[in-house]
Chain A
Amino acid sequence: MSERSEPMSGAQPYRREGATGKTLRFRFDGRDYEGLEGDTLASALLANGVRAVASSIKLGRPRGVYAAGCEEPNALVQIEEPFPEPMLTATTVELCDGLVATGLPGQGRLADRPDPARYDAVHAHCDVLVVGAGPAGIAAASVAARAGARVILADERPEPGGSLLGTTETLDGGPGRDWAAREVAALAALPDVRVLRRTTVVGHYDDNYVIAVERRTNHLGAAAPADVARERVWRIRARRVVLATGGHERFVAFAGNDLPGVMLAGAARTYANHYRVLPGSRAVVFTTNDSAYAAALDLADAGVEIAAIADVRQAPGEAWAARCAGRGIELLTGHVVTAARGEGEVSSVEVSRREGGEAREIAADLLLVSGGWTPVVHLFSQAGGTLRYDEELGAFTPGETRQAVEAAGFARGVGGTGARTLRACLEDGAEAGRRALAAAGFAVPAGIALPSAGEEPAAAPAEHLWLVESDDYDAHFVDLQRDVTVAEVLRATGAGLTSVEHVKRYTTAGTAHDQGKTSGLLTSGVVAHALGVDVSELGTTTFRAPYTPVSFAALAGRDRGHLHDPVRVTAMHEWHVARGALFENVGQWKRPWYYPRAGEDMESAVLRECRAAREDVAAMDASTLGKIDVVGPDAAVLLDRLYTNMMSTLKVGSIRYGVMCRPDGMVFDDGTVIRLADDRFLVTTTTGNAAAVLDWMEEWLQTEWPDLRVHCTSVTEQWATVALVGPRSREVLARLAPGLAVDNDSFPFMTWRDAEVAGIEARVCRISFSGELAYEINVSSWFGLALWEAVMASGEVTPYGTETMHVLRAEKGFPIVGQDTDGTVTPQDLGMEWIVSKKKADFVGKRSFARADTSRPDRKHLVGLLPEDPGVLLPEGAHLVETSALPEPPVPTLGFVTSSYRSAALGRTFALALVSGGRERIGERLYAPVGADLVPVTVTSHVLYDPEGARRDG
């Protein structure tokens, strides 16, 4: 990147005398530099004479530091060390020893390694939240805090003071920044006050819910302690919010206004005063208001030659004009800058009278621009407040709001003539503090001692200039970061766009990383100019959170990796892990998927497990099934209303399978219902739906049937369940439970018995989800592992996982709710007409079965599919078509595959599918487009194995 040809002496040629602080070493774009403690990367680069910091995203034009805060549109950098981070503004990166960074062409790179830092979140409540620790914010916080309110004062910078940091203004006879530091230190010492430094409030939501991001260790670089969170997200609920967010200076559209060396006047003032850096040697100032005069004089004091001030106004503030005359600074009233010129950076500035005429070229390496100041109304607007145009200020200021929030100081336009005045901001902040106190129910102190401010010259009105007129607008930039020029805005308005929202979308102005902080109002102004309307009629584009970019890591906080979501494991989990099971996530549960033996892949392991269950004996950990205790005199009535079939006729000791539907008749869940007593049922649900079913029952009980005397309690985690499956399961159970009569007459299908199994009190249910003779043994979860180990002790029982369970149930045509159904499937679609009671007068969903839609002949039915090649496994989700060659799109689809497996019992692959009119298509050939192929399949019944149910009794 370029450097000026005549550097001053020393390592930091543009550093002012008297700068203090430790020397820090850093590297930028491959070159080593030195800076000082307290620098930002931007101020350190300026101190070293680095002008071009980045290049622009579309046009690749060199760009330099333009601002001194988060509004920076140009100086985007990538941090490489201490940890890679893309897209930061050099103006907000605090310099640390060993920092390595590069300038970006508008886009960065994500880190190529995991971030080792910690991130955290804090919840806080307060009476008064003050955003911004400038003069107004400090005054407001002082008033509120001294009256005893719980106050949070948040400020984005490393030190308090806000605008005071960049000026030479005095308070109580000393530098304003010293007053700010003293005042905030005193506030922080109060017990109910929390001062958050380096904390940006990024979002303001309903009911004063405010999100802030605190950067705790970034500025420490490699020295950051590992045990301190790098960033913290604050979630604050405030009774009252005072937004003392100040203003951002804006620029003016003229030719070459993006060249390195063009800089906002207030930013240059901040570099000179706060960072003790000179952003150039010889400057031209271009302004529409008085604020740039203070900047010019401060820079002149610091040693920058001010070649001229071009003021668009005929009548600048008299006191300022006099001061300039006193300093020998040439004042060109009624003038504009028509162009900034130079190769890669400013070397001269072209100035002419506003009405035209001969242009004059002034040699300069710095062009300071002030197009006025825009109150930072982002948070007020985010919170739902309206904005109104302030003619005097030439900007939008806060209007009405429903929330307990108000803006104070320059954020609400106090000062009025293009920039703030210190005294007015202090008073306004104090008043806002008083109002916040009153609103929060505190006694308001009578008098407030404010610091005495130095004399401020009477201000002259600003003139609102958006662009310098020209024949060629290709280098009049409006949005620097998006490379949007006046020419492009004119193209948008020329195309008929009259709304700033539309122009924003057409040109992308305001959509970059900086979200148009310096350019948003300018865009509105140029649109207004083009349309010949007043900017007040156009308004601004919508302000949305976040105010500044937030890292995903901060938002994720601790919810990363294994803490991302709670992990639920069964009582037998350790055993599964020790035996090398692979796991499947089912909701939050970890379920054993299959148990591969040495040399086995998934396919061979599952085929082996399936054979064991069908031919021998196998066991599965079924503890994760949802279990709900439904208790009370009206329990049976509730279940009759929620299930499609009759539950009240179920005998104590027996079990019934049931399906629940939504009122629209679509299947919602299924499971078994066990009657434990006249007034007590145990309901099981699918693993992933347990909470939803409990919610469902509670909702109906509370909102529709409060007269029913029923209580529902989740007991999922109180029970551990072992499914013992296969033709030899009876003999294994008989050995484990010698006291239990296990013959088919004593213990028939769909009944349950209390018994001692392996010496553990158990409830044994004869339920089968595989079609085989099977038992589900339930014990207190404390004894789950003991039971499982007892079942496995003989070595005869093969453990199997969810994949085998899926294959076994699919062979029998048992649907899985949520896999073979999707909320558009009725019990009839599943071929389960038999589960829908004809006797009950009503149940949830019944009326919908009489709707025309649920009896359409082309509804999708659950059917089986046999690929003609028995080795071909269809992908789940594959679509099905009627023809062996695909017609021109759109291709009509008949349905799709919901489950697909290899079957040991069938000796081939098979699938379940939802197919339009599927039951009438049994025997037909359909085709599944898979990649470039059309795989032929034959439609069959969804029950492919043991359709007569001969195996369930062993």
Chain B
Amino acid sequence: MLLIPCPWCGPRDEAEFHYGGQAHVAYPENPAALSDEEWARYLFFRDNPKGLFAERWSHTAGCRRWFNAVRDTATNEIHAVYRVGEPRPVTA
């Protein structure tokens, strides 16, 4: 079980969190202006890298805040956590 450093509460067991998939996939400004393909990309396409991945987590059984984390999907190491709206930090 991961130990996830919630930026608001500190390190907590993974069981307290819900996973939210890839981070920085914004709801399109004007969906009506998108082609079907562009809209389908927003709906259905996500990255699936081996290595560093910026992803969303919600501390549902704690402060109930959403935040972002950069996790290495191969090792499960969390390299950074940061609040919603903040840019993805530079990680090694």
Q: Do A and B come from one complex?
A: yes
How large, as a class, is the contact surface on chain B?
A: 20 to 34
Contact B60 A206 (CB under 8 A): no
Q: Within the complex, what minimum Cβ distance (angstroms) separates A588 from chain B?
A: 15
How large, as a class, is the contact surface on chain A?
A: 20 to 34
Residues in B whose Cβ lies below 8 Å from that of A22: none
Selected contact of A851 from candidates B2, B13, B39, B77, CB within 8 Å: B39
A847–B58 alpha-carbon span in the complex (Å): 26
Contact B1 A207 (CB under 8 A): yes
A890–B28 alpha-carbon span in the complex (Å): 41
Assuming the contacts A402-B75, A664-B43, A706-B84, asked whether A237 and B3 have C-beta atoms less than 8 A apart, the reply is yes
The 6 closest A-B pairs by CB, nearest first: A847-B31, A207-B3, A209-B1, A702-B66, A206-B76, A704-B27
Residues in A whose Cβ lies below 8 Å from that of B27: 663, 704
Selected contact of A852 from candidates B26, B36, B58, CB within 8 Å: B36
Assuming the contacts A207-B2, A846-B31, asked whether A851 and B66 have C-beta atoms less than 8 A apart, the reply is no
Does A205 belong to the interface (CB within 8 Å)? yes
Assuming the contacts A703-B84, A706-B84, A852-B36, asked whether A206 and B3 have C-beta atoms less than 8 A apart, the reply is yes
A384–B76 alpha-carbon span in the complex (Å): 10
Residues in A whose Cβ lies below 8 Å from that of B44: 664
Residues in B whose Cβ lies below 8 Å from that of A852: 36
Residues of B55-85 at the interface with A, using a CB-CB cut-off of 8 Å, are: 56, 58, 60, 64-66, 75-77, 84-85
Residues in B whose Cβ lies below 8 Å from that of A384: 75-76
Residues in A whose Cβ lies below 8 Å from that of B3: 206-207, 209, 237
Contact A699 B43 (CB under 8 A): no
A457–B50 alpha-carbon span in the complex (Å): 50
Selected contact of B40 from candidates A205, A206, A851, CB within 8 Å: A851
A384–B26 alpha-carbon span in the complex (Å): 34
Residues in B whose Cβ lies below 8 Å from that of A846: 31-32
Does B34 belong to the interface (CB within 8 Å)? yes
Q: Within the complex, what minimum Cβ distance (angstroms) separates A702 from chain B?
A: 5
Selected contact of B56 from candidates A703, A847, A850, CB within 8 Å: A703
Selected contact of A699 from candidates B39, B40, B58, B75, CB within 8 Å: B58
Contact A848 B75 (CB under 8 A): no
Residues of A673-699 at the interface with B, using a CB-CB cut-off of 8 Å, are: 695, 698-699
A847–B41 alpha-carbon span in the complex (Å): 13
Selected contact of A703 from candidates B31, B39, B43, B66, CB within 8 Å: B66
Interface residues of A (CB under 8 A from B): 205-207, 209, 237, 384, 402, 663-664, 695, 698-699, 702-704, 706, 841-842, 846-848, 850-852
Given contacts A664-B44, A846-B32, A847-B34, 12 further A-B contacts (CB under 8 A): A207-B1, A207-B76, A209-B3, A237-B13, A402-B77, A702-B84, A704-B26, A706-B84, A841-B32, A842-B30, A847-B28, A847-B32
| 28 CB-based A-B contacts, threshold 8 Å | A206-B1, A206-B2, A206-B14, A207-B3, A209-B1, A209-B13, A237-B13, A384-B75, A402-B75, A402-B77, A663-B42, A664-B43, A664-B44, A695-B58, A699-B20, A703-B84, A704-B27, A706-B84, A706-B85, A841-B32, A842-B30, A842-B32, A847-B31, A847-B32, A847-B34, A848-B43, A850-B32, A851-B40
Residues of B1-44 at the interface with A, using a CB-CB cut-off of 8 Å, are: 1-3, 13-14, 18, 20, 26-28, 30-32, 34, 36, 39-40, 42-44
Contact B43 A702 (CB under 8 A): no
Closest to A641 in B: B27
Q: Within the complex, what minimum Cβ distance (angstroms) separates A203 from chain B?
A: 10
A207–B77 alpha-carbon span in the complex (Å): 8
Selected contact of A848 from candidates B2, B14, B39, B76, CB within 8 Å: B39
Interface residues of B (CB under 8 A from A): 1-3, 13-14, 18, 20, 26-28, 30-32, 34, 36, 39-40, 42-44, 56, 58, 60, 64-66, 75-77, 84-85
Q: Within the complex, what minimum Cβ distance (angstroms) separates A413 from chain B?
A: 24
Q: Within the complex, what minimum Cβ distance (angstroms) separates B47 from chain A?
A: 17
A384–B74 alpha-carbon span in the complex (Å): 10
Residues in B whose Cβ lies below 8 Å from that of A663: 27, 42-43
Residues in B whose Cβ lies below 8 Å from that of A699: 20, 58, 66
Closest to A852 in B: B36
A695–B31 alpha-carbon span in the complex (Å): 23
Residues in B whose Cβ lies below 8 Å from that of A698: 64, 66
A205–B60 alpha-carbon span in the complex (Å): 22
Q: Within the complex, what minimum Cβ distance (angstroms) separates A210 from chain B?
A: 10
Q: Within the complex, what minimum Cβ distance (angstroms) separates B55 from chain A?
A: 12
Residues in A whose Cβ lies below 8 Å from that of B32: 841-842, 846-847, 850
Closest to A207 in B: B3
Residues in A whose Cβ lies below 8 Å from that of B13: 209, 237
Closest to B34 in A: A847
A846–B27 alpha-carbon span in the complex (Å): 13
Closest to B42 in A: A663
A698–B85 alpha-carbon span in the complex (Å): 15
Q: Within the complex, what minimum Cβ distance (angstroms) separates A317 from chain B?
A: 43
Q: Within the complex, what minimum Cβ distance (angstroms) separates A159 from chain B?
A: 31
For A206, A663, A703, the residue with the greatest tally of chain B CB atoms inside 10 Å of its CB is A703
Residues in B whose Cβ lies below 8 Å from that of A402: 75, 77
Residues in B whose Cβ lies below 8 Å from that of A706: 84-85
A851–B40 alpha-carbon span in the complex (Å): 9
